[in-house]
């Protein structure tokens, strides 16, 4: 099986409709969970001003697939592990060269899909709405989940397939994604949510307190409890 691109982005409305500040939202996901934590891809900075490429960062941290392990653990904490959603930031591509938005008239041919949306499709009424790419008027927009300062494409599938982007079922003409870490992952039963923005060196997790405790105690992961409303290390 593979992940499938979703033209109906309404399952993301619980994120889009949130009134949280955007950095809080993209860092930890929606409110309402009993506990929150951070999955650290890299150690927290030991002093002010280091970068992710700093020589003090161990290569083992950079090579570990922490997100895959995290999702494997979370699969046992949802009733819908085969019915999950993945938001992918619009900036990912197969070569790392794609950066949106494009200048008018510069949209690569690979992103053009003349079959979406059909001419008869009514304007979207959902708060999760298609973003308007600049470019020729003949190029229809691809549907996106839009929050302040960020836009994402939505995929659906099994949690177990959340790392296998090479086989993802994309929309017509879309180039391969470059093994992205999803910006949001959640099951249909909303048992938890993982948020991984493009700037921090960590991902935020919202879940029940016993789930957070299990993640913190898992030796394969570097997870620490967090207050999502407090200032976080960057």
The pair of structure tokens assigned to 104 is 């008018």
pLDDT computed for residue 113 by the predictor: 36
What's the total number of domains in the chain? 1
Give yes or no for a contact between 223 and 108, defined as CB atoms under 8 angstroms apart.
no
Q: What is the pLDDT of residue 126?
A: 39
d(CA 29, CA 192): 9
Q: Which two tokens stand for residue 182?
A: 């999803």
Taking the alpha carbons of 122, 125, 126, 131 in that order, is the dihedral positive or negative? positive
Whole-number Cα distances in Å, 7 to 155, 179, 224: 9, 21, 35
Question: Beta 150-157 vs 4-5: how paired, if at all?
Answer: antiparallel
pTM: 0.75
Q: Looking at the domain assignment, is residue 181 inside a domain?
A: yes
User: Considering the domain boundaries, does residue 69 fall inside one?
Assistant: yes
Query: Is residue 232 in some structural domain?
Result: no
In a domain, 51, yes or no: no
Domain for residue 230, yes or no? no
**What gap in Å lies between CA 134 and CA 157, rounded to an integer?**
30
Asked whether residue 142 is assigned to any structural domain, the reply reads yes
- For 16, the domain range is 4-44+57-119+128-225
Per DSSP, 214 falls in state H
Contact between 197 and 26 (Cβ < 8 Å): yes
Residue 82 lies in a domain: yes
Measured at the alpha carbon of residue 67, what is the angle toward residues 3 and 18, in degrees to the nearest 5? 75
Does 67 map to a domain? yes
pLDDT tens across the length of the chain (234 residues): 688 888 899 999 999 999 999 999 999 999 999 999 999 999 998 876 665 554 455 544 444 488 999 999 999 999 999 999 999 888 765 433 333 443 434 433 333 333 444 333 334 333 444 433 333 323 335 688 999 999 998 999 999 988 777 667 665 555 556 667 899 999 999 999 999 998 899 999 999 999 999 999 999 999 999 999 999 998
């Amino acid at each position: 099986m593979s992940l499938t691109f979703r033209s109906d982005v309404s399952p993301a409305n619980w994120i889009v409709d949130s009134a949280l500040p955007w950095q809080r939202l993209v860092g930890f996901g929606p409110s309402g969970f009993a506990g929150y934590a951070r999955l650290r891809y890299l150690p927290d900075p030991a002093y002010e001003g280091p970068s992710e490429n700093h020589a003090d960062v161990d290569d083992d941290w950079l090579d570990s697939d922490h997100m895959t392990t995290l999702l494997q653990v979370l699969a046992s904490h949802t009733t819908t592990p085969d019915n999950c959603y993945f938001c992918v930031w619009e900036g990912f591509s197969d070569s790392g060269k794609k950066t949106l938005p494009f200048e008018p008239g510069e949209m690569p041919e690979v992103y053009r899909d003349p079959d979406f949306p059909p001419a008869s499709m009514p304007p979207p009424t959902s708060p999760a709405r298609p973003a308007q790419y600049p470019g020729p008027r003949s190029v229809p927009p691809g549907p996106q989940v839009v929050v302040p300062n960020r836009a994402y494409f939505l995929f659906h599938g099994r949690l177990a397939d959340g790392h296998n982007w090479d086989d993802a079922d994309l929309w017509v003409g879309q180039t391969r994604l470059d093994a992205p870490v999803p910006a949001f992952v959640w099951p249909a039963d909303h048992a938890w949510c993982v948020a991984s923005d493009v700037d921090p060196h960590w991902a935020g997790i919202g879940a029940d307190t016993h789930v957070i405790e299990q993640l913190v105690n898992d030796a394969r992961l570097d997870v620490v409890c967090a207050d999502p409303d407090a200032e976080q290390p960057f």
